Structure 1
Amino acid sequence: MVQNFLEENNEKPKCGRNLCNCFNGNCSDGCDDEYDSYKASSPVDACDILKSLVPSVCVSERNLLADTARIVEKNKISKRKDGFCREILTDSLAALGYNASICKSKWSKTPSFPAGEYEYVDVVIESERFFIDIDFRAEFEIARSTKAYKLVLQILPNIFVGKADRLEKIIDIVSESAKQSLNKKGMPFPPWRKADYVKSKWLSPHTRHNLNNDADKKEEGLVEKTSSCDEIEFILVEKCSAVGEINGGDDDEKKSATPTALPWEPPEIKPKISHKGSKIVAGLASIIQDKP
C-alpha cells in the first residue's frame, strides 16, 4: 500500500506542482476532502483545543482511566498493543467489576483509503460505551514532523479512555495538524493518515469478544456433560438391576437398585499333609504299587 502510494505521487504530481500544497493554495481538485470536518487556523489553536479535549469529562471516565493506568503500570504493558496485553487488561478490568471486552473492527476499501482492521478494548458502563487504547499517541506519530506537530503529540495521552464524540474531535484536530506538518516538510499526505481512516480503527463495525462470557459458556458445557454422564450411569444401574430380577435371586437383591460389592477375602490355603513314619512312593513305582 505504501509503495503504490509513493509511485502514484511520483508519476502524477497534484495541482501541477511537484508536491501538493493545496492547504495554502486555491486548488479545487478535491485534495482537501480528508479534513473538511474540522480546520484549525494555527497550530497554537490546535494545541489549545486539544488541551480542553484530553481531560476526562465525567466521573466514570476518570475512574476507568485510573484503574486502567494502574493495570498498565503493574503489568508494564504501556508500550505494547498485542493480543496478550489486551487480554491482561480485559481480565483485570473484569476482575474489578467492569463489563470489558476485546473488540475487533473491520472496514472496507473506499476511494479515499484502503481496507483494514484494528483491535482495542472497550467498557460498557450503564449503556455507555468507552474506548480504551493503551498506546494512543503512537497511532499519530509521523516521520520528520515539525516542532508544532511535536507539541500536538505531547498533548495526546498515552492511555486514552473516552467516548466516541470526544475521540472524533481529537482525531480531526491531530489529522489536520499532521497534514500541515507533512506539507511543510515537502512530503505527501498518505491516505492512512486521513481522519476518516483513523476514525475507522475505533468507530467501524466491530465484533465484541468477551473472554469472561466464553469461560462461563465452557463451564456450563462441562456441567451439561457431567449431568449427562450421571444420567447414563443411572440407566446402566437400572439395567443391571433389571437383569438381576430376571435371573432370579433373593428378595433383598431384587429390591436393591444398585448392586452391592462383596467384601474381599484371601484365598483358602490348604494345609500340607505330613507323612511321618511312612514311606513315600513316587513315580512309576506308585502306580505299580496301587495295582492289585
Structure 2
Amino acid sequence: MDSLEENVFMFMDEQYYYSNESNVEELWWENNTDSEHSPDTTLYWESQVTLLQEILERYHLNGSKLRLDVGRIIKEVKDSDYCSCLNPFSSDCTTCLRRQVVSGLSDRGFSTNLCISKWGTTKKFPGGCHEYIEVIASTSTRKKKIHFLVELELREQFQIAKASENYQKLVSCLPEFYIGKPEYLTAIVRVMCNAAKKSMKEKKMHVGPWRKSSFMQMKWSGFNQTYNNGGHFAKASESYLRISGAHTPVIVT
C-alpha cells in the first residue's frame, strides 16, 4: 500500500498541480482575473478549498495521538504568562512561546529541538531565517525514530494585506499550528501560495518574491537538509537548543 506521503503527492498530481513558475498557471490567471465573483473564479476557489481539505484530512490521520498531546502542551503554555523577555512592544512574543513549548515538551518526556533555518540573499529572494520546533518520537511497533515538525504560527505565515474574501476563507481552514511530517506542510504551502498569488492579482496588488512557494519552503529547509533554489542552497537547519525528555521516551501509536 502506498504511504500517506505518496498519496498526498499523487493527489496533487491528479489535480493538475502546477508549480509557481508554470507558464500554464500564468496563462490561467491572466485569463481569469477579471472579477472576484466570475464563474471561473468561483470554481477556482471551490477547487482550492476541496484540495486543502483533502490534504488536511490526510495530515490529521497521521500522528493524531502525538498531535493531541503536543497541542495540549502548546495551549497550556499559551494560557500562561510565558514571555520572559518582557518586550514592551510585543503583546504576543512568539520567541518566548517557542522556548516555553520546547521546555514543556521536555517536561512531558519528548525529545525536542528548537531549530532555525537560514538562507542567503539571491537575485530572486531576500535572505532570512525562521525558527521552528522538531519533536522526535518512537513508534509502538518499531524502534525507528519519527521526526515531527511543529510550526506555531501556521496561519500567520499566510496572512496578506487586503486579502480577498475567498482567500481569507481558505486561511481559516488551516489549523492554528502545524504538528506533523514536512510532506504535508509542503503540500499546504503550495496550495496557499498559489491562492495568495491569485488573491493579490484579483486585488491588482504586487506579488512579492517572499509569497512564492519556493521561498516559503526554505523556512523549514532543514528537514530536507538543503533546499535547491535555482542553484542556490539554503543553509541546513541548525538545532541550537536541544532538549531531551527526562522521562520514558514518548511512543507514537
TM-score, normalised to structure 2, is 0.64
Higher normalized strand content (fraction of residues): 2
> Partner of 2:77 in structure 1?
75
Alignment of 1:42-81 (within 5 A): 42-55=44-57, 56-58=59-61, 61-76=63-78, 80=92
Q: Could you tell me which amino acid in structure 2 is paired with residue 122 of structure 1? A: E
Q: CA deviation at 1:63?
A: 1.9
CA distance in 1, matches of 2:154, 2:93: 10
- Residue 106 of structure 1 is matched in structure 2 by 118
CA offsets 1:210-268 (integer angstroms, 9 cap, x no match): 4436x9xxxxxxxxxxxxxxxxxxxxxxxxxxxxxxxxxxxxxxxxxxxxxxxxxxxxx
Structure 2 CA distance for partners of 1:133 and 1:77, relative to 1, 3 Å: farther
1:71-220 matches, cutoff 5 A: 71-76=73-78, 80=92, 82-126=94-138, 127-204=145-222, 205-212=236-243
Letter in 1 for 2:29: N
| Cα distance in 2, alignment partners of residues 128 and 106 from structure 1 | 23
Letter in 2 for 1:114: P
Q: Residue type matched to 1:152 in 2?
A: L
Instruction: Point out the structure with max Rg over C-alpha.
Output: 1
- Aligned equivalent of 2:86: none
Q: How far apart are 1:109 and its partner, in Å?
A: 2.0
The alignment status of 1:25 with 2:30, answered yes or no, reads yes
Compute the displacement of 1:209 (Å): 2.8
Q: How many residues align?
A: 179
Distance 1:52 1:80 in 2: 31
Check conservation: 2:111, 2:243, Cα contact below 8 A. no
Report the TM-score when normalising by structure 1.
0.56
User: What code does the residue aligned with 1:54 have?
Assistant: L
Q: CA deviation at 1:25?
A: 3.1
In the TM superposition, residue 178 of structure 1 has moved relative to its aligned partner by 0.2
Q: Give the drift of 1:95.
A: 1.7
Deviations 1:112-140 (A, max 9, x none): 21111000111122332211112210110
**Aligned partners of 2:52, 2:79: CA distance in 1, in Å?**
25
Task: Provide the aligned C-alpha RMSD in A.
Answer: 2.4
Distance across 1 between alignment mates of 2:119 and 2:28? 28
The answer (yes or no) to whether the contact 1:175–1:193 under 8 Å persists in 2 is yes
C-alpha distance in structure 2 between counterparts of 1:192 and 1:153, whole Å: 17
Paired with 1:162 and 1:72, the residues of 2 have a C-alpha distance of 14
Q: 1:91 Cα deviation (Å)?
A: 1.2
Return closer, same or farther for 1:77/1:132 CA change in 2, 3 Å cut-off. Answer: farther
1-side partners of 2:181 and 2:155: how far apart? 17
Higher helix share: 1
- Do 2:193 and 2:213's aligned partners in 1 also have CA atoms closer than 8 Å? yes
Alpha-carbon deviation of 1:81?
5.4
Percent identity reads: 26
